Chain A
Amino acid sequence: MKDFLLIFRADYTRLATLSDEERQAMTKRYIDWVSSIAANDSLVDRGNRLAPTGKVVSGTGDVVTNGPYTEIKEFIGGYSIIRAGSYEDAVALTKSSPVFELNGKIEIREITPI
């Protein structure tokens, strides 16, 4: 079994256009999806949402800019860590994630411990 980081990328500005009911329904589908992974004993860390913006540090650490911004089409909105035997199995677990309803993508990266 290996651990995989799921990175959720989507156009999160679409979230803002949803009604309260639609957003609640989406949260509910998110919980259904995560619980289904947890029920398979495949959830390592539920992870979290990420705030809509932050800071980007570059240079030798002294260049600090604002960003990234939600306007980006493939903005990273959150992450989770799952456990699976292979990339195929990991892909199967992402099925029916509500991020796809936002035309989003899930990037799957195997975690290789240092």
Chain B
Amino acid sequence: MHQQELIPHLFRTEFGRITAVLCKLFGFENINVAEDITSETFLAALDTWPYKGIPENPQAWLYTVAKNKAKNSLTRKQLFDQKISPAVQAEHPTEDVMEIDLTDRNISDSQLQMLFAVCHPSIPPEAQIGLALRILCGFGIDEIAHAFLSNKETINKRLLRAKEKLRAARVKMEFPPENELKARLQPVLTTLYLLFNEGYYSETENEILRKDLCDEAMRLLKMLIDYPLTNKPEVNALFALMCFQASRFAARKDKNGEIVLYEDQEESLWDKELITIGALHLNMAAQGSYLSKYHLEASIAYWHTIKADTPEKWENILYLYNHLLVIEYSPVAALNRTYALARVKGNEAAIAEAEKLNLTNNPFYHTLLGELYKDIDTLKAKEHLLNALRLAKTDTDKKTIYAKLEAL
């Protein structure tokens, strides 16, 4: 790997690890100190590596520098007295304060605890995602701004406010007690679900960034699966869902970066290995009696890994969407259910159901009706597609709708 690629890569993988370990040592309230030390460590790498060459074991180099900086920081009298010392001494009365544990075990424990800390219900989901990206995934503020189609100032403000709130809520670096685990796991899963979707559906043109968002969501989720107490059925279901979706990553864009619709995708480009891993986790999710929305969404995604259109496929998908809607309404699920209904009961029946949805401000509502009316009433189909075109927010959507209009 070249230096230009190596440093960002290490930043991604190591930033979160080092910050989590330091934060566990200093206490969550001193998260800024932990972040600063990690940033300084990477700055030191950027300063020295170009002249002295990349060390043989860059990871060990970073850990050594981080440890030294942490020690210096701890002994810097002012900081030590005012901020960290009481906390550290209270938490580690007999241990050597200078012992900074960067073993694999402590790294993954610290990262999991950090995941629970930043996905705390006291801050809104978008702040949780932002913090997770910054602290756990080592994303720069500008990258986060890019992913959210926002600007640096807004993101900076959002993250600062979130950290303040977490401090005020006295959030600690610890695993939630077992009786709270189920409840605390929910916002964690929501955050990882949204993080993945941000990557999968984001409008940012930076394809590498999008893939990274998805990879990070899967990496963090895998940590939850590897930890026995959080290896729950719904965690496996969500992981399965992500595997099935991610399996189509290579197939959904053509050489020019244009989106390729599901029906037109080259099946040979689907990642069979990921599909197999997904199926394995969906199997593991089939335990206990709790049916989460991730179970249903993963099962729907599973049926989409089978390209062939069979009555069985669409009956199953319709059944799953029915259940999903009863658990939790969303316009997307309502529209998708109607599409599945059309495949099972025909367009006429689906049109009657679709028109009841009354999502007249939603471009996908009109796209769906345009599709359903296509062979029944061309005029109505055209009217709906024109509405869809007017309401569509992204160029990709506009292009897709335009192609449908052309084909009428």
Task: List residues of chain A with CB under 8 Å of any chain B CB.
Answer: 31-32, 34-36, 38-41, 43, 46
CB under 8 Å from chain A, chain B span 129-148: none
Residue of A nearest to B354 (CB): A39
Q: Is the CB of B356 within 8 A of A35?
A: no
Q: How far is the CB of A49 from chain B (nearest CB, A)?
A: 14
Tell which of A31, A40, A41 touches B322, judged by Cβ atoms closer than 8 Å.
A31
In the assembled complex, B88 has its CB within 8 A of some CB on chain A:
no
Tell which of B323, B329, B331, B357 touches A43, judged by Cβ atoms closer than 8 Å.
B329
Tell me the bound Cα distance from A99 to B333 in angstroms: 26
Instruction: Mark B134-176 against chain A: 1 for CB-CB distance below 8 A, else 0.
Output: 0000000000000000000000000000000000000000000
Q: Is the CB of A34 within 8 A of B326?
A: yes
Q: Which residues of B contact A46 (CB under 8 A)?
A: 326
Q: Is the interface of B mostly helix, strand, loop or mixed?
A: helix
Tell which of A31, A34, A38 touches B329, judged by Cβ atoms closer than 8 Å.
A38
Tell which of B319, B323, B325 touches A39, judged by Cβ atoms closer than 8 Å.
B325
Beyond A38-B329, A39-B337, A43-B329, whether A31 also contacts B356 by CB under 8 A is no
Q: Which residues of A contact B358 (CB under 8 A)?
A: 40
How many contacts between A and B, using CB within 8 angstroms?
39
In the assembled complex, B203 has its CB within 8 A of some CB on chain A:
no
In the assembled complex, B244 has its CB within 8 A of some CB on chain A:
no
Residue of A nearest to B322 (CB): A35
Tell which of B321, B323, B356 touches A40, judged by Cβ atoms closer than 8 Å.
B356
Tell which of A31, A34, A39 touches B357, judged by Cβ atoms closer than 8 Å.
A39
Tell me the bound Cα distance from A32 to B319 in angstroms: 9
Q: How far is the CB of B146 from chain A (nearest CB, A)?
A: 33
Residue of B nearest to A42 (CB): B329
Q: Which residues of A contact B321 (CB under 8 A)?
A: 35
Q: Is the CB of A36 within 8 A of B356?
A: yes
Q: Is the CB of A38 within 8 A of B319?
A: no
In the assembled complex, B215 has its CB within 8 A of some CB on chain A:
no
In the assembled complex, B353 has its CB within 8 A of some CB on chain A:
yes
Instruction: Mark B313-339 against chain A: 1 for CB-CB distance below 8 A, else 0.
Output: 000000101110110010101100110
Tell me the bound Cα distance from A38 to B327 in angstroms: 9
Tell me the bound Cα distance from A31 to B337 in angstroms: 13
Instruction: Mark B336-362 against chain A: 1 for CB-CB distance below 8 A, else 0.
Output: 011000000000000001001110000
Q: Is the CB of B357 within 8 A of A38?
A: no
Having A31-B319, A38-B322, one finds 10 other A-B pairs with CB under 8 Å, namely A31-B323, A34-B322, A34-B326, A35-B322, A35-B337, A36-B353, A36-B356, A38-B326, A39-B334, A43-B325
Q: How far is the CB of B326 from chain A (nearest CB, A)?
A: 5
Q: Which residues of A contact B338 (CB under 8 A)?
A: 39
Q: Is the CB of A32 within 8 A of B322?
A: yes
